[in-house]
Amino acid sequence: DADVTQTPRNRITKTGKRIMLECSQTKGHDRMYWYRQDPGLGLRLIYYSFDVKDINKGEISDGYSVSRQAQAKFSLSLESAIPNQTALYFCATSDSSGSPDTQYFGPGTRLTVL
């Protein structure tokens, strides 16, 4: 089984809809991250969490919110989706007790907002 899983893997939705992307991990890592990837722009950090009670904004948090329900679960919500949020979204984890900067990625969620 994959160490970092994301659901759904693909989602098509309409402008204005609320969307939740979920991430679960079995790696036992304390840190979790949400990124979006757009062609030519690389990975951009949306939110990150260093433990269950810690949530931090990344460089592009506007229009997004997150919830860290447990050490193993980190969800990303789009309260009112808009077309420019169409992108590939990745969840990642890292281990503060090991190499905290080394990140392990989930398979990604391809989101299309019409």
Partner 1 sequence: QKEVEQNSGPLSVPEGAIASLNCTYSDRGSQSFFWYRQYSGKSPELIMSIYSNGDKEDGRFTAQLNKASQYVSLLIRDSQPSDSATYLCAVGARGFKTIFGAGTRLFVKA
According to CB under 8 A, which one of 8, 14, 96, 114 is a site residue for partner 1?
96
Which residue, 17 or 44, has its beta carbon nearer to partner 1?
44
14-26: burial string, b at 16+ Cβ within 10 Å, e else: eeeeebebbbbbe
Any contact of residue 90 with partner 1 (CB under 8 A)? yes
- Residue count at the site for partner 1 (CB under 8 A)? 24
**Spatial contact of 36 and 21, defined as CB atoms under 8 Å apart:** no
Exposed, middle or buried, 54 (CB in 10 Å: 0-12/13-18/19+)? exposed
CB of 102 to partner 1, least distance (A): 6
According to CB under 8 A, which one of 8, 12, 100, 114 is a site residue for partner 1?
100
